[in-house]
Chain A
Amino acid sequence: MAVDGKERTTGSAGLAIGSGSRLTRICVRVVLLLGVLISLFPFYWLVVMASGTTQDIYSYPPKLVPGPHLLDNMGRVLDTVDFFGSLFNTVVVAVVGTALVLFFDSLAAFAFAKYEFPGKKFLFGGLMVTYMIPAQLSLVPQFVTMAEFGWAGSLNALIIPGAANAFGIFWMRQYAQNSLPDELLDAGRIDGAGFFRLYWQVAMPLFRPALAFLGIFTFISIWNDYIWPLVVMIDPDRVTLQVALANLNVLYNTDYSLVMAGALMSVVPLIIVFLIGARHFLRDLAAGATKM
């Protein structure tokens, strides 16, 4: 599997798109750039709206360049909602949730990939079954369960239920089978290391690339999750960023520049996280996505 543009084979030439005349090549470029513009335009538009006034947004002809009010609008967001509180909740849930997923999933994957134990086939088949269940099927009873636990409204409800998942176990197991040599583990055993030491000192360092993908993937999913925190965080003063933004959108729907500044503030941290890990993440994306 080619990783990025530099490692391309000549296979693409066989498709003959873009390998034809100069004109064709230029057309392909133009279409691709147009696609990039469409992908990025909503972000640009978000910045324009967040830095203007509400009148600007609906003026005709529309103002297409950013205005001078970005900091005012952001300041008004801080005055209106507990932005840092909900940001803190989101960061805690995403960081702790991701750490737990990485730990539990890689630990289980290590056992599935490298050990024999009774019921292994059956248990692994059971993982498959968990995939078949759409998340929304048990939305109602999950909420009731949380209420019974006394977790409704607490961050536990957002962290614990998803602390281990089938997707991550599949992904890590595949990686462990392909890139964790038995000889290395046997060498560790000869030195007298047990299961957990082998996991921590031999397997974990080798798991790093696969953990990077799983970590970014999980972090993004948790950060952007909406329906579950919307349902389970029953205390309006204790919500995640997404729910806070949705509430801002309802309560101040006439004050567009305020809502847009809030939207911008909720998007920027995650985009930064993504851009930092983008290269590693996109390298594994296709392999990871088709594991499902």
Chain B
Amino acid sequence: MATVADPAEAGTPAADERRPVRRSRATAPGGRRRHGPPLLAISPFYVLFAVFGAFPVVFSLYLSFQDWDGIGDMRFVGFKQYGWLLEDSVFWHSVLNTFEIWFLSTVPMLFLALVLAFLLHSQVRFTGAYRVAYFIPNVTSMVAMTVVFGSVFAQTGLANSALRMVGMDGVGWLSSEWGIKVSLSIMIIWRWVGYNALIFLAGLQAIPTEHFEAARVDGANSWQTLFRVVLPQLRPVVLFAAVTSTINGLQIFTESQVLFQSTDVGTTGGPGQEGMTIVLYLWQKAFKDHQFGYGAAMGWLLFAIIAVFTLINWRLVSGSDREDRAGIRSLLRRKGARNGR
């Protein structure tokens, strides 16, 4: 990395004589200057990325073909590692669990966030306080909140006490297959609804007022406005939220790890391992069972799954073309005429 200090010392007459005043170039300021300083300025990121980002990725590919406990010698096993992984019923169980929890949490979460955003958008007062209240779940530590939810969902916890009060039987929130998935999903929903609602709210506020005016002039009712003006414009933001929720959702770890943590390693993921997620299994295999190569291979499969999802989402995004205002107007005219408004 070349390091060239700028020779000009600020403000000294000598420097001013040495360096004739240039005309400012708004397009490329410093276009004819030495490249050392800017290259030096961006180098920290690239150096750190090379050491702690790129190298580990390449290394993990190498590791995934090795049988290694982290201490002894590595033994090359090649693609057999992936073969074992694909035959591992616990791995498939963790994939299925991850997808079930992802679906149970993401779909209601995005829907609730949209509803909340619309309601907040209709409020003029109190939005500041509302925003803070809705965002607080997202800034608190997942470990602490999982501990709290763990006690709420315990057999004699608050959730079952509430059910008892209205004369219903308690639910095995942390012991039954669907109880575990539902309680994990509730935690994820609680954490992310406010966050996404605020993102959607910003999307709503970015819609130009004229669009609403045009719809009103053309006699659209609120439902038509919602489906023909608002949602089409919000589509990119909603898709974005869906992509990030998916990427986060497929890497669920903390909630499940803390909820079913115990001194007994065999109980990772809770009763029947119904709370076992991909990353939790990766962590258990690599850092509890010391099968580093196996964990690295799992990391690559996780990456492949996430990549497939991201590609599908890209196709969805690029395949959508937004209706322009004229289109909205003509649509509304036709609808309006039919509805006799």
Contacts and interface: CB of A to CB of B under 8 A. Distances in A.
Interface residues of B, number: 136
B262 interface: yes
Given A195-B38, A195-B41, A137 B190 contact: no
Contacts of B165: 61
A57 B56 contact: no
B287 interface: yes
A5 B122 CA distance: 10
A160 B52 contact: yes
A15 B205 contact: no
Contact of B56 (A138, A290, A292): A138
B136 interface: yes
Interface residues of B, dominant DSSP? helix
Given A136-B282, A263-B148, A271-B139, A14 B213 contact: yes
Contacts of A195: 6, 30, 37-38, 41
A5 B124 contact: yes
Contact of B41 (A199, A274, A289): A199
Given A15-B225, A163-B48, A250-B262, A42 B63 contact: no
Given A14-B225, A136-B302, A142-B56, A39 B136 contact: yes
Contacts of A192: 8-12, 15-16, 19
A132 B307 contact: yes
B54 to A, nearest CB: 8
A10 B215 CA distance: 13
Interface in B172-231: 190, 194-195, 198-199, 201-209, 211-213, 215-216, 221-222, 225-226, 229-230
A277 to B, nearest CB: 10
Interface in A8-23: 8-19
Nearest to A57: B151
A62 B158 contact: yes
Nearest to B147: A263
Contacts of B60: 137-138, 140-141
Contact of B57 (A138, A161, A250, A278): A138
Nearest to B250: A134
A223 interface: yes
Contacts, number: 371
Given A35-B134, A108-B42, A246-B143, A290 B237 contact: yes
Interface string A129-152: 010111111111111110100000
A61 to B, nearest CB: 7
Nearest to B189: A38
Contacts of A12: 121-122, 124, 204
A268 B70 CA distance: 38
Contacts of A138: 53, 56-57, 59-60, 299
A137 to B, nearest CB: 4
B76 interface: no
B147 A117 contact: no
A253 interface: yes
A36 B190 CA distance: 11
Given A38-B190, A193-B10, A58 B139 contact: no
A141 B59 contact: yes
Contact count band on A:
35 or more
Nearest to A169: B45
Contacts of B263: 250-251
A186 B123 contact: no
Contacts of B148: 42, 45-46, 49, 260, 263
Interface in B5-53: 5-12, 15-16, 19, 21-22, 24-26, 28-31, 33, 35, 37-39, 41-42, 44-46, 48-49, 51-53
Contact of B8 (A31, A144, A194): A194
B88 to A, nearest CB: 17
B116 interface: yes
Interface string A21-32: 000000011011
A186 B119 contact: no
Nearest to B280: A227
The listed residue with most A CB atoms (<10 A of its CB), out of B45, B51, B134, is: B45
Interface string B116-134: 1011111111111011111
Contacts of B204: 12, 15
11 contacts: A10-B209, A115-B33, A134-B250, A139-B295, A186-B24, A186-B29, A189-B30, A191-B10, A192-B9, A194-B10, A246-B143
Nearest 8 pairs between A and B by C-beta?
A: A14-B212, A194-B6, A286-B202, A195-B37, A18-B122, A5-B127, A111-B38, A16-B222
